[in-house]
Amino acid sequence: MFEYQNNNYENRNQMYDYYQMPETGGPASNRPSGPKKTGKAGKLVKKIGAITLSAALFGSVAAGSFQAVNTLIGPTETSDNTAAAENTSASLLKAAAIPGAASEKGSLDVSDIAETVMPSIVSITNKSVQEIQNYFSMFGYGGQTIPQETESRGSGIIIGKNDTELLIVTNNHVIENADTLSAGFIDNQVYEANVKGTDPANDLAVIAVPLESISADTMSQIAVASIGDSDSLKVGEQVVAIGNALGYGQSVTTGIVSATNRTMGSNTQVVNTSADVSALPTYIQTDAAINPGNSGGALVNMKGEVIGINSAKMASTEVEGMGYAIPMSRVSDIIENLMNETTRTKVSADQKSSIGISGLTVNESVNSIYGIPSGVYVASVTPGSGADKAGIKKGYVITGFDGKTITQIQELTELLQYYPAGETVEITVKIPATGGTYTEKTLSVTLGAAESSNNTQTESGQQEDKNNSIY
């Protein structure tokens, strides 16, 4: 998979294709027998008869379609959206279809779907400060870094609210490393958002906007998305993608479901060939046009229900129309758990915390060769630290932090930015046992104060991240 490298947008995209409506027709009309017309007059009569028959058939089809659309759409009022926004988070992911939508295969017009779904779609802006090499380092003069503010954009879906917050689901890669997050709604109003919960392993995150900061006018225009059953999708079924393409605002593309239950990169990213492929995350493959900025947006069926969260696309000169969305049915429970987590903001510099270990990522190749579980391998423990007092030892592998799965050191350092020194958290570790096996244990660790910097400089001036860096 190729990621979109541009600081102006989030780093993944998707795509979709165009649905061809089936041709309609009917049985030939029964006409009473009569004398045959011959010559030009006969031909003219035949043409007139054909035109009349076509018009009659068209009229019946059009009338039936018009009636079906009226039945499917049903009455739409602002009060419906407001009522939907009053739902609690516990029931939102089990929401029914759009009021008035037929239970059979939907066939709403795309414009109707866009009008209904757009109030539940938001644009997300992620601002962060990153350390980059200065200009002179390219020519071998020094390696000091300089801070630079970067900005990326993505999409999100309003999935509910609690007593104090409006809740929005998106991709984890859209909001990761953010110093500040903001959410823009359909009325072009922008509000600051905070991280509610993240699941990097499934590329999911929920962010929250305080209700007290949202104006009554904005609340009257937004809506909670209706969630559909992605397990019932069929290959060839028409879908619609809505998101913040290129950061220009909401846009709509349409296509079909190219495949279901796809595992991304199973041939190139899974090093352990004995791994159970059925245990890998599955995705909806689609060919609708997805552009940078669409990640975290909605993949919608023809009843206006969100059945996927746009997550990634294959980008190559040899690949066209291969986008992927996270199926809602697979992750609904995960999203509900994220919605119920404690909302956190990044702590100030004087409150930054540390577990008290040095570690390194156990990737899939190391796991395959040495049998060490995926996670963060503890290379050393600082005497007197929270990790030391909790019983963590060298050789342990950290696989969970405060209920979140840890697969690499970057995930651990990202999470620590939201936990102040002095807070006690549950950390899951795997402990080596006899015969190359590991046992799992959860320990309570009181976080200590973080080091001023995890980075040291080499004699050449280049910064490097040492294994003895303290996390």
pLDDT digits (tens, 9 = 90+) for 232-268: 999 999 999 999 887 778 889 999 999 998 887 543 3
pLDDT of residue 131: 61
pLDDT at 7: 41
Compute how many other C-beta atoms are within 10 angstroms of the C-beta atom of residue 90.
12
Q: pLDDT at position 141, please? A: 59
DSSP 206-261: EEEEEGGGS-HHHHHH--PPPB--GGG--TT-EEEEEE-GGGSS-EEEEEEEEEEE
Q: What is the dihedral of CA 394, 400, 402, 403, to 10 degrees?
A: -160
Position 459 scores a pLDDT of 33
Residue 281 token pair: 């995350």
The per-residue pLDDT of the chain, averaged, comes to: 75
Q: Where are the alpha helices (DSSP H) in 256-363?
A: 328-339
Query: Between 267 and 431, where is the model more confident?
Result: 431
| 421 pLDDT above the threshold of 60 | yes
Is a pLDDT exceeding 70 seen at residue 54?
Answer: no
Rounded CA gap, 182 and 221, in Å? 18
In 3-state terms, what secondary structure has residue 434?
helix
Q: Which of 7, 264, 38, 257 is nearest to 149 (CA)?
A: 7
The confidence band for 200, taking pLDDT boundaries of 50, 70 and 90, is: confident
| Predicted confidence (pLDDT) per residue in 282-303, tens digit | 999 998 877 778 899 999 999 9
Judged by average pLDDT, the poorest of 135-139, 385-389, 464-468 is 464-468
397 and 412 in contact (C-beta within 8 Å)?
Answer: no
Cβ–Cβ < 8 Å for 340, 265: no
- So what's the pLDDT on residue 249? 80
Can you tell me whether residue 353 is helix, strand or coil? strand
Q: pLDDT digit string (tens) for 300-355?
A: 999 999 999 998 766 666 667 788 999 999 999 999 999 999 998 889 989 999 99
Query: Does residue 107 have a pLDDT over 90?
Result: no
Structural domains of the chain sorted by starting position, each given as residue range(s) with its CATH number in brackets: 230-327 (2.40.10.10), 349-465 (2.30.42.10)
Q: What angle do CA 159, 160, 161 make, to 5 degrees?
A: 150
Report which residue type is found at 39.
Answer: G
pLDDT at 98: 44
Q: Is the pLDDT of residue 211 over 90?
A: yes
> Any idea which of 122-136, 214-228, 245-259 has the lowest mean pLDDT?
122-136
Of 249-253, 414-418, 438-442, 450-454, the one with minimum mean pLDDT is 450-454
| Residue 9: predicted pLDDT | 45
CA–CA separation, 166 and 343 (whole Å) = 11
> Which active-site residues does the annotation give?
173, 203, 295
Q: Which pLDDT score is estimated for 365?
A: 87
Asked whether 132 and 126 are in contact (CB, 8 A), the reply is no
pLDDT tens per residue, range 165-193: 999 999 999 998 888 999 999 999 999 99
**Phi, psi angles (nearest 5°) of residue 247:** 75, 10
Which pLDDT score, from 0 to 100, does residue 318 have? 67
Token output for 378: 């503890």
DSSP code string of 198-220: EEGGGTEEEEEEEGGGS-HHHHH
**Which of 104-108, 143-147, 420-424 has the least mean pLDDT?**
104-108
